[in-house]
Structure 1
Amino acid sequence: MISEAERIEALEAAQKLVDCLSEDSESARSESTRVQALQAANALTRSLERPEDGLIKFAYSPTIWMAIRTCVHMNVFNILVEKETTSAREVAEKAGADEIIIRRLLRVITSYGYAVEKGDGLYGINEWTKHMQNRLTQGMITYIFDHSMPAIAAAPEWFKENGFQNPTDPRNGPFQKAFGTNIPIFQWLALPENKERWDAANTFFEGDRGNRPSWVTWFPVQDELLSGKIDDQAPLLVDVAGGRGHDLLEFINQFPCVKGKYVLQDLQKVLDSATNLPAAVEKRAIDFFNESPVKGAKIYYMKFILHDYADPEALHILKNVISSMEKGYSYLVINDFILPDTGCPLIAAEWDLMMLTLMSAMERTESQWRSLFYAAGLSIKGLYQPPGDGQGIIVVAL
């Protein structure tokens, strides 16, 4: 029986959810309202869930990851989206699998709502199914499952062996324990024998923003970064370690009338896979630990780079960027999480632990960002965060 305290808590959470969604206005349909409503819905679920049941649910939740990853291996989601209704036998034949294992895996998939059960051994699709067969989604599933799951499993023993210290050495963390190496993850992924893993990682990095809007759609780029003088002989924007150039393309598409040169910098093998860039983008290889980016640019942009490293390595990278910046002209734009000191969104807290297990690194709070940039000799011009999960933009200068 539900207690009086639980009933009141559930009613309060339900009322907050109704309040978030009841107003019929443009502001009520904003991203901020969606986030608030989602938080209220989660609070309502938690108020009704017994701790014993909730813990069992979490204890068995890795099976959903296993089912999804296996279905990606077998191309199941791609098979399902080919038509409205597909039988387990059809999926098994096309996937080259046992029908029984298809039924068992899809029992979990449909229970979580990632596909639709339409009868005994019959399956349909929904928006989740379509999302699961997306190339970027499958890159994320492959990269995260194949690398983080072993590292997460190894983390408790690594902590015990290392006196429950915060990992800061990229050569000694849960990832290295899980994979029996003393090589940092990105160097390990770049080994020739890990080509498929490397490709999955770069595909994931193309889509790791999820459904969050690109920074160029909400940040006042024109006023904050492009209002002063622009040297048309120098690069307008250098995307440092920008992967296949997806963020650079969004900037160019958002500001097609802005004159300037664009440079994409990353490891040569990453640049070789960036095949859909316009002629305006110059590709230049860089090892940002040992080299400085192209000099004299108006904007140096780094997305999800510094969170991959503890402070010593992050300072090393920053000092190389600083050596390329022009005082009074250049800006460094950091696109990353800015964690609050209290009330941290769950996804941001989870992302922080992912950085811990894979990179021996961290997401940073505002005070930690300020300390890092102060140590590097950089001045913060502004911190900007739209409603959402805690990601934001930090603009710094010499």
Structure 2
Amino acid sequence: MSNVSKDEALKNASNVVALLSQGSDPFISEEVRAQALQAANLVIRALEKPEDGLIKFAFSPTTWMAIRVCAQLNVFDMITKHETISAAEIARIANADETLIRRLLRVLTAAGFVAEKGNGLYGPTHWTVHINSRLAQGMLKFIYDSSMLPIAQGVNWLKETGYRNPVDPQHGMFQAANQTDMPTFKWLTVPKNKEIWDNANTFFEGDRGSRPSWVTWFPTKEKFFPEGHQQEVPLLVDVAGGRGHDLMEFLDKYPDELGPFVLQDQQVVLDSALSLSPKIEKQPFDLFEDPPVKGARIYFMKFILHDYADEQCMQILRNVKASMVKGYSYLVINDFILPDVGCGLLQSQWDLMMMVLLSSMERTEAQWRALLESAGLSIEGLYLPPGDAQGIIVATL
């Protein structure tokens, strides 16, 4: 043992077993899964000596590089399609050196991302299959390609700026790394960056991961669906909603609702939203210049305000307010609500990624309240689902 006692390790291990033994259902609920995973991580923390764990962590960027190179060479696709495939065959198809392929896959088999079937032989695991999916490919390519250079330069950038919390969207780590004064999203839409922007929008489709959609746990219909809804005005407007994935989930949950439903985003994004319900109207829209369509019941924003510092959020909220009807309209924000104590690793890492890429932040409950109240909105409630998913913030005029 290192810094944790044997008794503490056994206690956490017992907690994992107790959590997984709850009930007779063969499937684990999201709440139990998150609790059991937290307890399991405490067991690992107890068993791993800090000097070994820190060395492993220091070398972990090499795993990230190996994944990105293998994604570029379509290695995950090759392995997924074969029960067993050799390094020589992968190298032949990818037009790469066999020794390089073996070295890259040595890391990925040790990490469990690929199965080792023998000397130079590989097969898929459930990780391989997932990494080969369209949404996962978009995520790993976008995050690696857009963040690694700003992260590497972040230490010096913070030193040079006097360790100030970054809030200027034109002068952050991302801008310094890419030698630009354009805000990140504007830079991404420049034609030469089309591949990164396309990967970003693919990632946004799946950025919730396996965590449940808000419509599966929030009492949406009871709270928001008005009696005698007038179909001249939208039931829901997805503000800066990307390719409409969240709006489609809403319609899957409530297929009998007539709407109307509106998806608003930049035209270049709407052009890539190809598989939408005929109930959805696409409208080009500038988040900072245009108020959303007026008079809707629900204005939905998922992972929008976390992209911006307070000053930019105030402009966005002013535009939304201009479209809302007092006593009728709701602003529904789907985002992280960080706890003041005991914040999870993913949420805290996500916060730093917002800092690196956008000079923005994830917010605590107190920060959400301060922001929305400063914008003249009344917070009806903040809601957290079981497990560790993103919360819902409901606000009115």
Evaluate the alpha carbon distance shift between residue 27 and residue 86 of structure 1 in structure 2; reply closer, same or farther with a 3 A threshold.
closer
Identify the residue that residue 305 of structure 1 maps to in structure 2: 304
Alignment pair present for 1:60 and 2:77: no
Alignment partners' CA distance in 1, 2:2 and 2:88 = 47
2:348 partner letter: A
Superimposed CA distance per residue, residues 80-123 of structure 1 (whole angstroms, 9 cap, x where no aligned partner): 11110001111111111111111110001111001100000000
Alignment partners' CA distance in 1, 2:85 and 2:233 = 56
Query: What do you get for the CA RMSD once the two structures are aligned?
Result: 1.4
- Give me the identity figure in percent: 59
1:237 CA drift (Å): 0.8
Identify the residue that residue 233 of structure 1 maps to in structure 2: 232
Alignment partners' CA distance in 2, 1:148 and 1:164 = 19
Structure 1 counterpart SS, 2:81 = coil
Identify the residue that residue 33 of structure 1 maps to in structure 2: 32
Evaluate the alpha carbon distance shift between residue 240 and residue 3 of structure 1 in structure 2; reply closer, same or farther with a 3 A threshold.
closer
Identify the residue that residue 323 of structure 1 maps to in structure 2: 322
Identify the residue that residue 43 of structure 1 maps to in structure 2: 42
Contact preservation (8 Å) 1:13, 1:40: yes
Structure 2 counterpart SS, 1:118 = strand
Alignment partners' CA distance in 1, 2:3 and 2:107 = 34
Alignment partners' CA distance in 1, 2:2 and 2:349 = 31
Evaluate the alpha carbon distance shift between residue 78 and residue 5 of structure 1 in structure 2; reply closer, same or farther with a 3 A threshold.
closer
1:7 CA drift (Å): 1.3
1:378 partner letter: L
Structure 2 counterpart SS, 1:377 = coil
1:332 partner letter: L
1:176 CA drift (Å): 1.1
Identify the residue that residue 208 of structure 2 maps to in structure 1: 209
Alignment pair present for 1:24 and 2:12: no
Unaligned runs of 5+ in 2: none
Contact preservation (8 Å) 1:337, 1:363: yes
Alignment partners' CA distance in 2, 1:29 and 1:142 = 31
Alignment partners' CA distance in 2, 1:256 and 1:5 = 52
Structure 2 counterpart SS, 1:242 = coil
1:244 partner letter: R
Contact preservation (8 Å) 2:4, 2:46: no
Identify the residue that residue 372 of structure 1 maps to in structure 2: 371
Structure 2 counterpart SS, 1:333 = strand
Alignment partners' CA distance in 2, 1:379 and 1:95 = 56
Identify the residue that residue 383 of structure 2 maps to in structure 1: 384
Evaluate the alpha carbon distance shift between residue 331 and residue 229 of structure 1 in structure 2; reply closer, same or farther with a 3 A threshold.
farther
Superimposed CA distance per residue, residues 250-308 of structure 1 (whole angstroms, 9 cap, x where no aligned partner): 11111111121111100010001111112211111111101111111111110000000
Contact preservation (8 Å) 2:236, 2:296: yes
Alignment pair present for 1:162 and 2:155: no
Alignment partners' CA distance in 2, 1:26 and 1:367 = 38
1:236 CA drift (Å): 1.0
1:228 CA drift (Å): 4.3
Instruction: Give the total of aligned pairs.
Output: 397
Alignment partners' CA distance in 2, 1:199 and 1:296 = 32
1:27 CA drift (Å): 10
Within 5 Å, give how 1:224-263 maps onto structure 2. Answer: 224-263=223-262
Superimposed CA distance per residue, residues 26-81 of structure 1 (whole angstroms, 9 cap, x where no aligned partner): 49932111111100100000011111001101100001100000001000000111
Identify the residue that residue 92 of structure 2 maps to in structure 1: 93
Structure 1 counterpart SS, 2:182 = coil
Alignment partners' CA distance in 2, 1:4 and 1:314 = 43
1:47 partner letter: A
Unaligned runs of 5+ in 1: none
1:166 partner letter: N
1:19 CA drift (Å): 1.8
1:182 CA drift (Å): 1.1
1:81 partner letter: T
2:345 partner letter: L
Alignment partners' CA distance in 2, 1:278 and 1:179 = 38
Superimposed CA distance per residue, residues 162-181 of structure 1 (whole angstroms, 9 cap, x where no aligned partner): 11010000111111111111
1:194 partner letter: N
Alignment partners' CA distance in 2, 1:203 and 1:395 = 27
Structure 1 counterpart SS, 2:5 = helix
Contact preservation (8 Å) 2:335, 2:390: yes
Identify the residue that residue 335 of structure 1 maps to in structure 2: 334
Contact preservation (8 Å) 2:381, 2:395: yes
1:369 CA drift (Å): 0.3
Contact preservation (8 Å) 2:201, 2:243: yes
Evaluate the alpha carbon distance shift between residue 4 and residue 54 of structure 1 in structure 2; reply closer, same or farther with a 3 A threshold.
closer
Identify the residue that residue 348 of structure 2 maps to in structure 1: 349
2:42 partner letter: A
Structure 2 counterpart SS, 1:130 = helix
1:9 CA drift (Å): 2.0
Alignment pair present for 1:128 and 2:127: yes
1:24 CA drift (Å): 3.3
Within 5 Å, give how 1:172-187 maps onto structure 2. Answer: 172-187=171-186
Structure 2 counterpart SS, 1:235 = coil
TM-score w.r.t. length of structure 2: 0.98
Alignment partners' CA distance in 1, 2:4 and 2:105 = 38
Alignment partners' CA distance in 2, 1:395 and 1:4 = 43
1:25 CA drift (Å): 3.4
